[in-house]
Amino acid sequence: MSGRQWPFGETTLWDGRTVFCRGTWEGLPVFAFRGRPCAAPKGLLTRRQLRAKGQRPGGQDPVALLMFRHVKPFRRVELCELFREDLAVPVRPMTPAKEKALAAANQARRFCHTHQGHVDHFVRGPKKQCSVCFSADETTYEQEAA
């Protein structure tokens, strides 16, 4: 049996700190999701964490990777990018044109193609039917099959 797939190593960060990591992948240090000594250091965040703080990477390249285990058995290990928090920029504000386009798109998702009207929920499926039309179509299909 060989050694660890992700052996421990040391790396120097942008601010001069030396920390433990789980090796490198394509030139970027890999940190573990949890635990010591290889947890991601403070100041590095994923895109989702940046978005939760109202920030975005702003064109910067990732400085490290975060390794975590996946719940699906065929995808054992996942890697995601880590960005520096101090270089992140605020998320662009929603403009009136974007709000108008988003409202129009949501309104189109609520249009039933069967009875040609708007409903209070999103329509789904290839026929784009509301729940009432879908139920009526389903019962018609069952009666024809019998």
CA distance 109 to 131: 13
Tell me if the bond preceding 29 is cis, omega within 30° of 0.
no
* Global pTM exceeds 0.75: no
Q: Kind of pairing, strands 9-12 and 18-21?
A: antiparallel
Q: Kind of pairing, strands 64-69 and 111-112?
A: unpaired
Q: What's the token pair of residue 41?
A: 């250091």
In tens, the pLDDT along 3-17 reads 556 667 788 888 888
Q: Residues near 113 by Cβ (< 8 Å), separated by ≥ 6? A: 123, 127, 128, 129
How much is the pLDDT for 122?
A: 87
Please give the backbone phi and psi of residue 112, each rounded to the nearest 5 degrees, phi first: -90, 125
What is the domain partition of the chain in residue ranges?
Answer: 9-90, 96-145
In tens, the pLDDT along 34-91 reads 766 778 888 899 999 999 999 999 999 999 999 887 777 777 788 899 999 999 999 9
- Say whether pLDDT at 2 is over 60: no
Are the CB atoms for 22 and 67 separated by under 8 Å?
yes
